[in-house]
Chains A and B, each alone.
Chain A
Amino acid sequence: MASNHEESDPAESINRRRLLGLMGLGGAVALAGCSGGNDGSGNGGGGSTGDGSESGGGGSPSGEPLGSERIGYSSASNTVNYWTQEDFIHTAENTNLGSVHEGMLTTWAEEHPDWKINVQIQTNLEQFKTKLLQANASNNAPPMSEVDSFWVPQFYGDLASVDEAMQEYDDWYPFVENVAKNEGSWRAVWQNTDCRALYYRKDLLDEYNEGNPPETWDELVDVGSAIADGENMNGYMYNGGRWEATTFDNLAHFWALGGTLIDDQGAPVLDESENRSALVEVMKWFKRTIDSGITPQRVANINDYAQLREAALNDQTAMFLGGNWQISTMKSMVDEDVWSNWKVAPIPQKNADIAATGVGGWTKGVFTDDEEQRKVAVDLYSLFTDSGNMAQRCREGGFLPTRQSVFEENEFFSEDEYFQVYSKLLENGRARPGYPIYTTVSSEWQIAAGEVITGQSDPETAVRNMINNVNSEYDG
């Protein structure tokens, strides 16, 4: 059922409907046209007329290898559905990235004249997951889909192997293998990643801390308050609103303290004493940032990295906890003398000897038992693990490579001071635990953080409530 109505060529049905509308036909006819357009099978010949492609003879491919929502020749007889995002296809809004993809995807199309991929672009990423879960639970999952790296474990049972695309390389960062490999087989193609770091103003740190970024909380508070007093600005800011980054960014603190959220069975283990005390430490840290005056209470409503960036660029803060992609955004927004004053460093921790950072990014997965479709999908995915392609994609898209060699061998990365810091950070990179209960843990973390930052609860109470809620959700 699902495959039938999704295969029609949307461009064609829209045109037909628009035509009907223009011809002045009434609502009922338009309605009929509407259902006809969507229910009709666009498989084979029917779908190939929509894009103005000249029809080729015999079995040879005709028309363009890529369409507006299509990878592969429109004359191809086999269709496979693919849920993806702009960041991974030729129509990316970032046109430089788009043309990198265009080259890659055309290669695939030429090698697979019998196949075309029907691209369905997903936009709202938080809800994309819900939709994928929903579809998967009712066996409607698309054969090919992007999967957020930390969802992968949830789908282990449903994801087909992608060994051909992953196995031939051995320079994956450790976190890639931890997440994407299950029972000896690769389940997802982790094509790029991101990480979190401390951003700091070099001129201010030169003046107040001899040029050294703070490595510990104590140092951060000392430097931060000195700057806050001396410059009439905030010392340090971070995500503290009701959104995922409040958990994800600050989880680095928790991990560095040895904390674990969820065990290998997917059960929350927050009430084990070392985890609980790590959590209390983190909440106390939030409180300390506010009480010491280095952080404004308004971080409790920051739910957008852009707000951190703007605070930074507008002399509102000397340091912030941000993501690797932000330096390239800053580069594109302000003059070099402004952005080059911002440097990155590891996230300060309670003690200087442990480093941690959260890593994210998207992977590609295969949700089908059909071997032929799997093969076609993996062929496409392999293009994304090739080091040349990975380097180009990451360069244009502002992503981080998931293979160590790309950082070392490609000049763009090896000679860039920012990327060299990120590359070191990635060695200690850690993905969020990919179990269903994580979303509850994260949501409760955000609530606890908000309550502590705004003084509605003290750290111990907030942690107690958080653990109770998580456990009752898990048990109930």
Chain B
Amino acid sequence: MSTETDTGTKDPSVTGTERLRSALGRFVWLQENPIPWVFPAIAVLLAFRLYPLVEVVRMSFTDMSLLSDSYSYVGIEQYLDVLSAPGFWTMARVTLIFVAISVIGQIVLGLILAMAIDYGVKKHIRGSVSTRIAVLSAWVIPGIVIGIIWQLMMIEAPYGVLNFFLTQLGFDVVAWLSDPQMALLSVITANTWRGTAFSMIMLYAGLQQVPQQLYAAAKIDGASAIQRFRHVTIPQIKPVVFINLVLITIYTLNTFDMIISLTGGGPGRATQVLALFMYFKGFQSFNLGEAAAIAVLMLLVNVVMTFVYMRFLIEEEGI
């Protein structure tokens, strides 16, 4: 994408009275300077994001607790506690699996659905609206409630609906949530179910922005559908894919509301992701310092992931 700005009209007009010129000049200067454009957004950011961020980093070096008003600075002790907690590396592994598979699932399903709907709408195929609405409906239900609904479906008795269908088909009852590996898979499935709509809309809107002439031109050049996808679609929607990946990674890494009601992190620690660990530390053990330390560690993971995505998806001048 070109980022060159037009400077031709930058100079204020030289005609007119002095006053008008300076007023106009000020207006133009205001308009030509990025600061007034971004200031309101940045101010809000500083108040609601930067300040709490600084607070959280500060908290992570203290023994702050929900139970009392006073606290003291303890250096990096909270970090050491987190890293040496007996379940930490198990949870890190669970989190990695959860995030990786969920993100891949969401983006792949989202892209397939977005392309199908894009195609379907253009070709007036019936079902486009229903499909879109179906996917979206998953997304508007609060996470905690999603957990409850899925748990109900996954009851491990013949009266759980999924197991009911399986037994009708002659299979055995599946331990959806009480088998440690299966539980993780179930949580990932439910999360993908919930999150796909986000990627679908984002990518769908991205597809709408691809100029149709590019496809036409590629077709005239004899490009096959796959070639058009690789050489037209992908490069055009790369920025959207990038931001989509970053965002769903962040969301997935930080999500825990659905898990709380689906498995509570169990059985044992089989589905206890770091976000849930952080929540428990902060709001069950009331240990804000340690919760903050976990948050900062997760933030670092996010930053690393973002740079990885950037490295692969966005060229230097792309931002």
Contact = CB atoms under 8 A, between A and B. Distances in A.
Contacts of B68: 137
Nearest to B179: A454
Contacts of A301: 151, 156, 177-178, 183, 263, 266-267
Interface in B285-301: 285-287, 290
B265 to A, nearest CB: 5
Contacts of B25: none
B266 A300 contact: yes
A450 B280 CA distance: 17
Q: Which of A127, A311, A448, A456 has the most chain B CB atoms inside 10 A of its CB?
A: A456
Interface in A267-317: 296-301, 303, 307, 310-311, 314, 316
Contact of B267 (A154, A454, A472): A454
A473 B63 CA distance: 12
Nearest to A304: B151
A27 B223 CA distance: 50
Interface in A424-476: 436, 439-440, 443, 446-448, 450-451, 453-454, 456-457, 465, 468-469, 472-473, 476
Contacts of B85: 469, 472
Interface in A118-142: 127, 130, 133-134, 137-138
A307 B148 CA distance: 13
A133 B286 contact: yes
A473 B285 contact: yes
B155 A307 contact: yes
B69 A241 contact: no
A137 B81 CA distance: 24
B283 A127 contact: yes
Contacts of A325: none
B266 A133 contact: no
A447 B77 CA distance: 25
A137 B71 CA distance: 12
A241 B264 contact: yes
A44 B178 CA distance: 56
B264 A297 contact: no
A227 B74 CA distance: 57
B159 interface: yes
Interface residues of A, number: 42
A476 B290 contact: yes
Contact of B66 (A130, A297, A440): A130
A472 B183 contact: no
A454 B268 contact: yes
A134 B270 CA distance: 30
A217 interface: no
B67 A436 contact: yes
A219 B178 CA distance: 27
Given A130-B66, A134-B66, A454-B180, A298 B268 contact: no
A310 to B, nearest CB: 7
A450 B266 contact: yes
Contacts of B285: 436, 439-440, 443, 473
Contacts of B284: 439-440, 443
A242 interface: yes
B175 A298 contact: yes
B87 interface: yes
A242 B68 CA distance: 27
B34 interface: no
A358 B286 CA distance: 24
A439 B177 CA distance: 24
Given A298-B175, A469-B86, A451 B264 contact: no
Interface string B70-91: 0000000110010011110000
A298 B266 contact: no
Interface of B: 66-69, 77-78, 81, 84-87, 151, 155-157, 159, 175, 177-180, 183, 263-270, 272, 280, 283-287, 290
**Closest A-B pairs by Cβ, 10 of them:** A242-B264, A451-B268, A450-B267, A242-B266, A298-B156, A300-B267, A301-B177, A450-B268, A300-B178, A450-B266
22 contacts: A134-B66, A137-B66, A243-B264, A298-B175, A298-B177, A298-B178, A299-B178, A300-B178, A301-B177, A301-B266, A316-B157, A439-B286, A443-B280, A447-B265, A447-B269, A450-B270, A454-B270, A456-B180, A465-B86, A472-B84, A473-B287, A476-B81
